[in-house]
Amino acid sequence: MTLRTSRRAALLGGLAAPFVSRLAAAQTGPIRLGTLTPQTGAGGPYGPAMVKVAQALVGEINAAGGVAGRRIELVSEDDETNPDAGVRAARKLIDVEKVSAIIGTWASAVTTAVAPLCWENKVMLFTVSGADSITKLPHQGYIIRTQPNTYLQSATAAKYLASTGAKTVFALSAQTPFAVDSYNRLSDVLAQGGAKAVGDVIYDASKTSFRSEIDQALKTKPDALFLNSYTPDLAVILRELFRAGYEGRKFTFGYAANAKLLDTVGAEVAEGLISFSPSPDLDSPAFAKVRAILGAEPDPYSCQVHDHISLAALAIGKAGAGTGTAIHDNLRAIGDAAGTKITSAVEGLKLLAAGKAVNFEGASGPCKFTPAGDIEGCRFRFDVAEKGKYRLLSLI
């Protein structure tokens, strides 16, 4: 009888052994992070550089001894710039690879589709998507976004316009999901700066003439026009403004005011057009590192992925544990204003190991987040079109 019991015990022990060792491995084995970037589809031009930066950075952290005595293992998946494929890839990352964080989702639809899986499984999601709706999801703090949303961008535009002395601003906006939100925020911030938004026309971007919209705008004699447009409609609007003899300020987004615009409308029509766009922190050593990794001028998304990996690694270092919850709980503690300012994860991990407080500022900017997970502020660059070229006006 006794023999039997001990046999049974041995059997149970034997069965349990793999689980015990797996449990132990979960605390000493590598910490896994996943990238979910577009390698194919509309985002295909951005994904490969994002992964390259992530891999280089993880390599650097591991070479310096890893995080909390453990290595980081990076698993990269392709979201195909498609929410359906993105969900399948995310399920693999979460259920099979057991990652603690998913990094770099690019298209807003992919991020929105993947987000519920992340918060249900307590996996941290770092994204570069811009849609305002993302951080309004009930994500319990499991989403962090380094891309400024429409709200922040509109506020920045309004502050700038007010600072140039414009008293009245009229907005012409292409029909997009964010056109109305964008104008409301513009209007609020202008009012704080002593200026006024005097009207908004939302137009169908596929039209070939905007005469009536422009008449409506110019009737109010605005000091500045806020052109919330894309390149093709902006070209038409600029030509018609030129013809109408409008001499006030023209202000638009950087993605609309590109080289193609200048080619289309010519130097004279574009003269004086001011554009703005979120900018990486061009003077930061972290930005220089991303440039060195890529061997080319980095795009904003690669810079943000640099910061995602660094934030995840530092939060794990601070917590001493590699779970998604650990990253979630410690993410804001590594942006401690009283701590030593750092721009690299390796440097920060050493300080954290020595029990010191750190204040991380990355390649994309200061990396401070609101409770909803949005970035509080980032750098913006302002360019002006002069004689058929863009000239950097200022970087704030």
Partner 1 sequence: MENYLLAMAVFAGCTALMALGLNVIFGLAGMINLGLVGFFAIGAYASALLTVKLHLPLVLAWPAAIFAAAACGVAVALITARLRGDYLAIVTLGFSEVIRLVASNEIWLTNGTDGISAIPAPGRGVLSPLLFNLQFVVIVWIAVGVAALLIARLSAAPFGRVLRAIREDDVIASVAGKRVLRFKLQAFAIGAGLMGLAGALYAHFNAYIAPDSFQPLVTIYVVLALTAGGTGTMRGAVLGAVLVVALTEGTRFLGGVVPGLAPVQIAALREAIIGVVLILVLTYRPGGIIPETSRTHRLETS
User: Which of 304, 275, 274 is CA-nearest to residue 290?
Assistant: 304
Is 352 a residue that touches partner 1 (CB under 8 A)? Answer: no
How far apart CA 306 and CA 308 sit, in angstroms, is 6
Strand, helix or coil at 326?
A: helix
Strand locations in 10-142, DSSP E?
31-37, 72-78, 101-105, 124-127
Greatest alpha-carbon pair distance for the chain in Å reads 104
Is 51 a residue that touches partner 1 (CB under 8 A)? Answer: yes
Of positions 32, 70, 92, 159, contacts partner 1 by CB under 8 A: 92
DSSP state of 265: H
DSSP state of 70: B
Closer residue to partner 1, CB minimum distance, 47 or 280 = 47
Q: Are 388 and 270 in contact (CB under 8 A)?
A: yes
Span interacting with partner 1, options 89-97, 163-171, 208-216, 219-227, rule CB under 8 A? 89-97
Of positions 34, 43, 47, 373, contacts partner 1 by CB under 8 A: 47
Span interacting with partner 1, options 35-43, 235-243, 336-344, 361-369, rule CB under 8 A? 35-43
Of positions 72, 77, 257, 343, contacts partner 1 by CB under 8 A: 77
Is 88 a residue that touches partner 1 (CB under 8 A)? Answer: yes
Span interacting with partner 1, options 2-10, 109-117, 157-165, 301-309, rule CB under 8 A? 109-117
Counting every residue, how long is the chain? 396
Closer residue to partner 1, CB minimum distance, 88 or 196 = 88
How far apart CA 334 and CA 344 sit, in angstroms, is 12
- Residue 239: partners with Cβ closer than 8 Å, 6 or more residues away: 265, 269
In the shown chain, the binding pattern of residues 122 to 161 toward partner 1, with x for contact by CB under 8 A and - for none, equals: ---------x-x---xx-----------------------
Strand pairing partners for 359?
335, 341
Is 167 a residue that touches partner 1 (CB under 8 A)? Answer: no
Residue ranges in contact with partner 1 by CB under 8 A: 35, 37, 39-40, 47-48, 51-52, 75-78, 80, 82-84, 87-89, 91-92, 94-96, 107-110, 112-113, 116, 120-121, 131, 133, 137-138, 177
